[in-house]
Structure 1
Amino acid sequence: MAGANCLATNDWICGEYLRSRGQELTDATVQHIGITVVSVLIGLAVAFPLALLARRGRGFAGPVLGLTTVLYTVPSLAMFSLLLPLFGLSAALVVTGLVLYSLTILVRNILAGLEAVPQEAKEAARGMGYGPWRLLWEVELPLALPALMAGLRIATVSTVALTTVGSLVGKGGLGNLIEDALPSLFKAQVLTASVLCVLLAVTADLLLLGLQRLLTPWTRIPAATGETRTGGTGGTGGPKGSPGAPGGASGVPGGSGGPAGVPAPAKVEAG
């Protein structure tokens, strides 16, 4: 009886709400995760070639970084309104907006990671016969992973928050529940949906952090051993397959640490 009464008294914490609306919460959470994952993956696929283009010189970097920054400053309501004639009231509308918002974070971090690769590492790779594409995939990209993953984590958490704004067109996942509950101030629904959003963001960040540690084991070697690696025929802690620079310090190209990311502030707006 007490559990049922919490709905009648509109309590913030209500177990009866969780029991009676479990399927609704599950559907909203699945939609939220789906929109977030698709948006981040498409954003990464678009950001990578843009970062490579920006790396070619200032003539390309200025327009690319400027355009992605301008897109990031457009309010969500205005962005969705501009995209509405193209996509209508669909999930594609929300995904496209989220992809555009993620570009400024992803492009800047990918570019920062690639530019932080030591010149000695690239020269050593070229001396071993590496072509431009092999140099990129086997040397530069592995060493840029810490910065890339830092940007991916920020973009993912930001996208989890911004997905709620999709409730404007009925495609906001947990944001739909928050918007539906606000007019009547249905406390249990507002609190539950909000907590689930936070849990999704924290879980996504922890999963990506674990993936980053798995993909960049050389960044943990100094902390684990307390040793400084120098000399030799090349860095011993780098990614597998990376060429070493004769007599170089550790981390050339696979030394004890990777390039640091330059994260942009996460864009978070109320739904």
Structure 2
Amino acid sequence: MNWVGNNLELIGDLTLVHLRQSLIALIAGFIVSIPLGWVAWRYRLVRSSVITITGLLYTIPSLALLILVPVVTGWYSIVSETNLIVALAIYAVAILVRAVADGLDSVDAGVRQASTAIGYGSFRRFWAVEFPLAGPVVLAGLRVTSASTIALATVGILVGIQNLGYLFTNGLQRRIIPEVFAGVVAVVVLALVIDLLLVIAGRLLMPWTRGVKTVSRQGNRTLVKA
């Protein structure tokens, strides 16, 4: 493990680059997914089509997508961090559109009617009532997407984009097993840290989800579970 100790600065720099690429793609994918998920929820006739088409994006091989993105966007240099971020954002959209649609589906119709009755317009109702209540389902989708995005970002090294994937390819080419192991551990730790931060953010932004109690009856007894 001497290699790890002698290259902590390299690992740290690559981790920061990897984090930046992943977060930008995740945020971009999330922003795009909100209106698409709303359309899929609001208009039942196109729901299946929107979710199916966006879901199929995830079936595109990552290396092929990295080559196709420059052709579609006009950024013809494959070795471009922007192209990697666009590709990762596309994969994020593939997961998050369904999460947003399912989250909005989970909102009780009575809550919508009550918010309308007290004067909320459709725009205000969405942001103040519907989307916050859809939060737990959307957050679950975000957690899955963050882990997927961080893992997929390593593929960028195959077209020359530097991130933690460098430790995999360089370690394999030079047969330095600790380097490969360091790359694997760094990716896993990064994914776990982001997941933990998302959980904490969810608890802070959605305090009503904490301490939820379920009530059930067994015979003449009432059982309450936290």
User: What is the aligned counterpart of 1:34 among 12, 16, 20?
Assistant: 20
Give the alignment's TM-score, normalised by structure 2. Answer: 0.89
Question: Percent identity between the aligned chains?
Answer: 36
Letter in 1 for 2:197: L
1:195-216 Cα deviation digits (max 9, x unpaired): 1111001111111011111222
What is the rounded CA distance, in whole Å, between the counterparts of 1:56 and 1:106 in structure 2? 16
Following TM superposition, by how much is the alpha carbon of 1:19 offset from its aligned partner in structure 2, in angstroms? Answer: 3.1
Would you tell me which structure has more helix in proportion to its own residues? Answer: 2
The structure-2 alpha-carbon separation of the partners of 1:134 and 1:196, relative to structure 1 and needing over 3 Å to count, comes to same
Counterpart in the other structure of 1:103: 93
Counterpart in the other structure of 2:204: 214
Counterpart in the other structure of 1:78: 64
1:126-174 Cα deviation digits (max 9, x unpaired): 1111110111111101111101111111100110100101111222511
What is the rounded CA distance, in whole Å, between the counterparts of 2:112 and 2:58 in structure 1? 33
The residue correspondences of 1:167-186 to structure 2 (distance < 5 A) are: 167-186=157-176
Counterpart in the other structure of 1:124: 114
What is the rounded CA distance, in whole Å, between the counterparts of 2:156 and 2:44 in structure 1? 36
Q: Which runs of 5+ in 2 are unaligned?
A: 217-225
The residue correspondences of 1:37-48 to structure 2 (distance < 5 A) are: 37-48=23-34
Q: Which runs of 5+ in 1 are unaligned?
A: 1-13, 229-256, 258-271
Following TM superposition, by how much is the alpha carbon of 1:20 offset from its aligned partner in structure 2, in angstroms? Answer: 2.2
Counterpart in the other structure of 1:147: 137
1:32-79 Cα deviation digits (max 9, x unpaired): 000000000000111011111212313332332122111110111111
Are 1:153 and 1:208, in contact at CA under 8 Å, matched by a contact in 2? yes
Structure showing greater Rg: 1
Letter in 1 for 2:103: G
Q: Is structure 2 residue 119 aligned with structure 1 residue 133? A: no
What is the rounded CA distance, in whole Å, between the counterparts of 2:159 and 2:212 in structure 1? 50
Letter in 2 for 1:78: A
Letter in 2 for 1:100: I
Counterpart in the other structure of 1:66: 52
User: What is the aligned counterpart of 1:201 among 181, 191, 196?
Assistant: 191
Are 2:168 and 2:179, in contact at CA under 8 Å, matched by a contact in 1? yes
Secondary structure, aligned partner of 1:222 = coil
Counterpart in the other structure of 2:80: 90
Letter in 2 for 1:216: M
Counterpart in the other structure of 2:220: none
RMSD: 1.8
Letter in 2 for 1:143: L
After TM superposition, what 4+ stretches of structure 1 lie above 4 angstroms from structure 2? none
